Amino acid sequence: MSDPTMEAVIVEADKPLTLGTVPRPAVGSSDVLIEVKASGLNRADIMQRAGLYPPPPGASEILGLETAGVVVEIGSAVSEWTVGDRVCALLTGGGYAEFAATDEGSCFSIPDTMSFEDAACLPEAMMTVFANAFMRGQVDEGQSFLMHGGTSGIGVMGIQMAKHVGAGPVFATAGSPEKVQACLDLGADYAINYREQDFVEVVKANGGADAILDMVGGDYIQRNIAAANLNGRICNIAYQNGFEATINFGPVLMKRLVLTATTLRARTNEEKRAIRDDVVATFWDAVANGDIRPVLDTAFPMNEADAAHARLETGGHIGKVVLTR
């Protein structure tokens, strides 16, 4: 490509997000360059903007951990993709831009009938759910599962993926009657309004949870321990209510619980490819036929990234907020 620059969203401290001109990303031997059509937003973007979640060494400083678009260039060692392919992809950064580069093993083929906006809802959420609920949490047929934040971008995928493999009952927490209904519509067996009900009481009254996926932390840590069954697995992907808590570990000992936490962004390309491959093998046919569906809350033009962040920060969304080009 002759033009070495591109348009991207620029972060400046204490200023609104704006569009500017930056260098186009380099394409490594195993990379694909994607012309961005849509990019998913994540709370990690909010944290990075606030200076609380810096990108891994060598990653793009541009916000954005997932994107959907068209492959316009491939590295010399790329074997899975060709120019013109429609892909959605996990990124270490760089999604809020005209072009984004990523390892070929972090890409998924977009089903023919799916829009770029819908496809941008999938990579980060599905890979995060798989790496935690399935790899660490061992969610499987007949296993009861509690998904906190059931209408978050992660939550809407967690409910659907658990139901797809036959897990149950599937519990989900949400913060309003509308969100409770959305969880039920996605297949949750029990949807709990955490503002009105104690999720521990509801879960225990209905058999307890064999696996829990949580992004809240704080006081939820002890409450998750209480809700978990014997040999239960509690997986944290974030700590929105705080990293610190006073914990009684007695029930952890007596129930033989596993407490674990992971992140996805800093994993190696090989680890991400393995997760991608498992997601494709287990779930991508269901995505293609509509049994697992993206949940798009709102799409904003990329020049309205600040408004998109505001939508995410208010917490009123159901599913994903995306930027479009």
Q: How confident is the model at residue 130 (pLDDT cuts 50, 70, 90)?
A: very high
pLDDT score for 138 = 97
Token code pair at residue 46: 């909010």
Please provide the average confidence, as pLDDT, over all residues in the chain. 96
| Average pLDDT, integer, range 42-51 | 95
Amino acid (one-letter) located at 270 = E
| Average pLDDT, integer, range 85-104 | 98
Using omega within 30 degrees of 0 as the cis cutoff, is the peptide bond preceding 169 cis? yes
Q: Of 246, 227, 205, whose CA–CA distance to 147 is shortest?
A: 227
Beta bridge partner(s), residue 66: 40, 90
Distance, CA of 240 to CA of 226 (rounded, Å):
19
Whether the CB-CB separation of 129 and 156 falls below 8 Å is answered with no
Quickly list DSSP for 225-287. Answer: HHHEEEEEEEEES--TT-S------HHHHHHT-EEEE--STTS-HHHHHHHHHHHIIIIIHHH
Whether the CB-CB separation of 37 and 68 falls below 8 Å is answered with yes
pLDDT score for 2 = 66
Q: Of 107, 57, 99, 98, whose CA–CA distance to 80 is shortest?
A: 107
Q: Of 85, 172, 88, 146, whose CA–CA distance to 122 is shortest?
A: 88
How many Å from the N-terminal Cα to the C-terminal Cα in the chain? Answer: 19
Domain locations in the chain as residue ranges: 5-122+265-324, 126-261
Token code pair at residue 136: 């660490």
* 58 CB-contact burial (10 Å; exposed 0-12 / middle 13-18 / buried 19+): exposed
Percent of the chain with pLDDT over 70: 99
* Model pTM score: 0.96
Amino acid (one-letter) located at 174 = A
Beta bridge partner(s), residue 34: 71, 100
Kindly indicate whether the domain formed by 5-122+265-324 is annotated with CATH number 3.90.180.10: yes
Sheet of 145-147: strand order equals 190-193, 170-174, 145-147, 209-214, 228-236, 258-261
pLDDT, tens digit, for every residue of 198-253?
A: 999 999 999 999 999 999 999 999 999 999 999 999 999 999 998 999 999 999 99
| Average pLDDT, integer, range 83-110 | 98
DSSP 95: -
* Structural element, H or E, at residue 158: helix 153-164
Asked if residue 303 has pLDDT above 90, the reply is: yes
Q: Of 221, 238, 268, 236, whose CA–CA distance to 47 is shortest?
A: 238
SS3 213: strand
pLDDT score for 14 = 87
pLDDT score for 1 = 61
Token code pair at residue 215: 């992004």
pLDDT, tens digit, for every residue of 246-286?
A: 999 999 999 999 999 999 999 999 999 999 999 999 999 99
Q: How confident is the model at residue 33 (pLDDT cuts 50, 70, 90)?
A: very high
pLDDT score for 317 = 95
What are φ and ψ of residue 297, in 5° steps? -80, -60
| Average pLDDT, integer, range 123-148 | 97
CATH number, span 126-261: 3.40.50.720
Parallel, antiparallel, or unpaired: how do β-strands 99-103 and 31-40 relate? Answer: antiparallel
Whether the CB-CB separation of 95 and 36 falls below 8 Å is answered with yes
